[in-house]
Structure 1
Amino acid sequence: MTDAPATLRAGAEALAAPLPPLLAAAEHLATTVILGDHGRRRAGLGDDFWQYRPAMPFDDARSIDWRRSARSDAAFVQDKEWQVAQSVVFWVDLAASMSFGSVKGGPTKADRARLLALAATILLIRGGERVGLTGLRLPPRRGTAQIARMADRLAEDAPTDYGQPETEGMLAHSRAVFMSDFMGNMDAAEEALLRAADRDVHGVILQVLDPAEEAFPYDGRTIFESMGGGVTHETLKAGELRARYLDRLAERKDRLAGLARTTGWLYSTHHTGDPAAGALQWLYRGLERRG
């Protein structure tokens, strides 16, 4: 539908309205106050520090440092420390598994993930931060126009059964949000989180689940089918699968919690049957935290 991004943005604006804008990280603010506009050119210190990185496809020509680039065969870009610290990138899983919703007329997992991601984007941009998406699809930028771009990208569906986190284009020392049901390949999720941690990226992991996925309220003859239609399983005694299913779900949650502890990220689960405001509050507080 042509008005889907506008509708999504309107819902996200309503959800974000009661919350104050997200402030810049206390560490960055303290450094800015102490060093002012003329900080020393040392790694990680001050507003004037520049970090060189290889230019990426989304970089403007005017952002390239031609003097530094002339010393090699590659183009380089200068990133100010405060710009990196104020960059937040989202990976929002919009694969087929996220289209599940057990309540007729209720939100799917993808509906809730889109709403939370865009509401968080609104708060971040109101606080002066740069927001974008992983995978080089939408580099971090400021301004209300970026909200519209985020809405456009978040309205798209991914052509896969299960999503896998992307880390390409993620700036070192920035922050990130990974939002998914994490029902796919956990090895891929672990690899992505460890790569992000190696680049000193801190962030939050929000697992979005439907209440039926937590309760497994099935019994008797049941046909289970993946949302993409690639996997089908029929059983006459669905109730007998409940204990095994719940054990595997618990193992998956424990693995995500362990990854969060290892990488210094935060992890939580949100159910689509619960109010979205609570999850947004958790994201808000989690992104304020550094390290």
Structure 2
Amino acid sequence: MNTLKQFNQFTASLPQSDNMPALFMGHGSPMNGIELNEFSTSWANVAKSIPVPKSILVVSAHWFTRGTKITAMDFPPTIHDFGGFPQALFDVQYPAPGNSGLAHETAQLIKSAHVELNHDWGLDHGAWTVIRHMYPQADIPVLQLSIDYTKGAAYHYDLAKEIATLRKEGVLILGSGNMVHNLRMLSWEMINGGGYDWAMEASEKFKTAILNKDHQKLINYEKMGAEVNLAVPTPEHYLPLMYILGLQNDTEAVNLFNDKAVGGSLTMTSVVVG
């Protein structure tokens, strides 16, 4: 199924809710931040299909820390945390404001951990490459919540529940990573589309569990088989999904879009809860 058809099905089934939808975005290559392609177009269209958020809280694969931190500066810098790409990508600035009040509120909501208010990070490419297509005016405050690398998937899933009330306040919580993400096995021959058999098998397992709301299986992903262990050789790109699933309540629907494999060993599959 092409990504445009997926998006149209997603918008047609989007329910009305008091909660702001929660999103997991497969962000893929940093080049998606400056390219107008099927993925970035869907990101822009998603933004048009949901209420305008008051603030955005991003859980990015690229802020992996000991302990939990949240950006609390007034103007988070744009971080170019990659190498080997065209200068045009390094030239991008996304000058969205921060929201120190929301940073303090979020830190207070989280009881399972001490949350450090951070003034040194900013917006990494897991955040700005996606959000600049969604909200190009950069006029909505953006914060990042780090992923504590000392904790497992269940911890992050449960932590998300502690901040669920932010959705009622108009905060868009966005996880940014990739469900299947094994760059060591990347195939340039399939860079524009296609996946190894193991990657497609892992993707189908993930999607079936998501659509069936079988969160425990996804939390215990290491037990889902050899293909899943190939798909998730390290957890940082997978764990943002735990936050979005942790935010889903019993009555909320879940939909997929941008469901495509690229480079053999990476999927762009994205999830909306709400």
Q: Same fold (TM over 0.5)?
A: no
- Asked which structure has the greater RCO (Cα within 8 Å, sep 6+), the reply is 2
TM-score norm. by structure 1 comes to 0.31
Superposition TM-score, scaled by structure 2 size: 0.32
